[in-house]
Amino acid sequence: MNHAPPQTFETPFGSFTLGIHRVDRTKSLRAWDAADALVLDHLFQQPADSRLVIVDDTYGALAVATTDRMPVVLVDSWTGREASVRNHELNGLASPSFTDPLSGFGDVANVVIRMPKSLERLRELFDALRLAPGADVSVVGMDRRIPRSAFELMERRFGHVDGGRSVRKARVLRSSVREVGDSGRRWPAVVEHVVAGTSVSPHAHGGVFAGTSIDAATRLLAESMRPMIDELHPEVVVDLGSGSGVLGTLAAMWSGAAAHLVDDSAAAVRSSRATADAAGVGQQVQVHHQSNLDEVVVPGSVDLVVCNPPFHDDRGQNDQVAWEMYHQARRALRRGGRLLVVTNRHLGTHARLAKVFGNATVVAEDRQFVVVQSDRT
Ligand SMILES: C[S@@+](CC[C@H](N)C(=O)[O-])C[C@H]1O[C@@H](n2cnc3c(N)ncnc32)[C@H](O)[C@@H]1O
């Protein structure tokens, strides 16, 4: 894990101490970047009386610096939320007022959105925030993270966009809302699929992994899971990193077990809930916005954990989260319980799981992916 020591962030709003804490798993060395600095310069020029809404602040740098303006803060990532809380504490500040799920900001607002990885999330944010005429929308990020399609989306949605100029490779795209528009999209999006002979409909809020499709790795894991459920008769299952919730929902349907669907992303958690409800297993399923399974289930209480772990962060390949998930799964499982993981073949998952569990068996593979099983002994 990353323990970059706290550093001082000089902003027009004052100097703040920001750190990257234990909860962070990226390779970042600093809790802010040039995009945070640029948007704070921009906010400082604006009247302090409009309601400030901050979305997907990475480590809380924006919320900490603008604390006097009492921003409403929306952070999709649980890890990001924890980082923000800790950075507020570091500066002797109360935690900001987090809001979730997405809700409308009918009154005039000044909305700052850190450019999400997915354009679908930006699209959903524009729809969900229901901004009133006069609201000011800024999308901020490093140039390499702001695709042309984000510019075009804002132009279509708000009629105009000011692309600003690049400052230290960061940029703010700005629009002001002239009339209340409706994109015509309804969230979550839904598409029906058949997986291992069962019909399931992933419900996807913006930004969820694979959206309404079923990733080839997810399908391979599901196909391996089906006969295993008949063999194990699990009573408690966990879908760790549940995304749209397809794996946990299928596990609940096939086993009748109680299922915990856990994800770091609020959008994923909402999607998982909708997928399970639509499949008729909502009563069996609990969803958890969390990045640590230890906080969700009693150690030694789970029969089966299924996991298609993340292998990338903003800076590229990073298997640290997957590694932690394997350890969490081991603690959660009862003796004789099983972890079933799918990953890319080249990631050496078999060897890694063998290290954590003392055993690992490849149960399915294709040209790209491998499914590995490990049993808690
Ligand atoms: C590769 S996707 C798999 C999603 C889903 N299980 C599927 O197969 O379609 C990995 C998921 O892990 C989630 N995730 C990332 N870090 C996490 C963490 N620390 N704890 C729980 N979930 C996490 C991501 O938000 C993402 O939804």
Is the pTM here over 0.85, yes or no?
A: yes
The average pLDDT across 334-355 equals 96
Q: Ranked by mean pLDDT, which of 120-129, 155-164, 222-231 comes out on top?
A: 222-231
The average pLDDT across 20-28 equals 61
Tell which wins on pLDDT, 156 or 2.
156
Beta carbon of 241 within 6 Å of any ligand 1 atom = yes
Ligand 1 closest atom vs CA 324? 19
Residue-range domains of the chain with CATH: 7-176 (3.40.50.150), 189-375 (3.40.50.150)
Tell which wins on pLDDT, 313 or 272.
272
Q: In Å, how far are 23, 81, 166 from 89, measured between CA atoms?
A: 14, 13, 32
Res 149 pLDDT > 80: yes
Tell which wins on pLDDT, 145 or 130.
145
Distance 214 CA to ligand 1 centre (A): 14
**Confidence at residue 312, expressed as pLDDT on a 0 to 100 scale:** 72
Distance 2 CA to ligand 1 centre (A): 20
Beta carbon of 308 within 6 Å of any ligand 1 atom = yes
CA atoms within 13 A on the CB side of 287: 25
241, 308 contact by CB (below 8 A):
yes
Residue 201 CB contacts under 8 Å (≥ 6 apart), including other chains:
190, 191, 192, 193, 275, 278, 279
57, 33 contact by CB (below 8 A):
no
Q: Which of 76, 260, 308, 317 to mutate to test the pocket of ligand 1 (most atoms within 8 A of CB)?
A: 308
Q: In Å, how far are 43, 47, 96, 102, 198 from 249, measured between CA atoms?
A: 43, 48, 34, 23, 11
**Confidence at residue 183, expressed as pLDDT on a 0 to 100 scale:** 80
Nearest CA to ligand 1 atom 24: 241
Tokens of 319: 């298997």
Beta carbon of 275 within 6 Å of any ligand 1 atom = no
**Confidence at residue 47, expressed as pLDDT on a 0 to 100 scale:** 84
Res 39 pLDDT > 90: yes
* Residue 99 banded pLDDT, cuts 50, 70, 90: confident
Distance 63 CA to ligand 1 centre (A): 26
Beta carbon of 247 within 6 Å of any ligand 1 atom = yes
Ligand 1 closest atom vs CA 307? 6
* Residue 218 banded pLDDT, cuts 50, 70, 90: very high
Res 17 pLDDT > 80: yes
**Confidence at residue 23, expressed as pLDDT on a 0 to 100 scale:** 45
The average pLDDT across 14-39 equals 82
Distance 263 CA to ligand 1 centre (A): 6
**Confidence at residue 130, expressed as pLDDT on a 0 to 100 scale:** 81
Distance 311 CA to ligand 1 centre (A): 9
* Angle (nearest 5°) at CA 295 between 3 and 264: 65
The 10s digit of each residue's pLDDT in 179-203 is 777 788 899 999 999 999 999 999 9
CA distance 158 to 181: 8
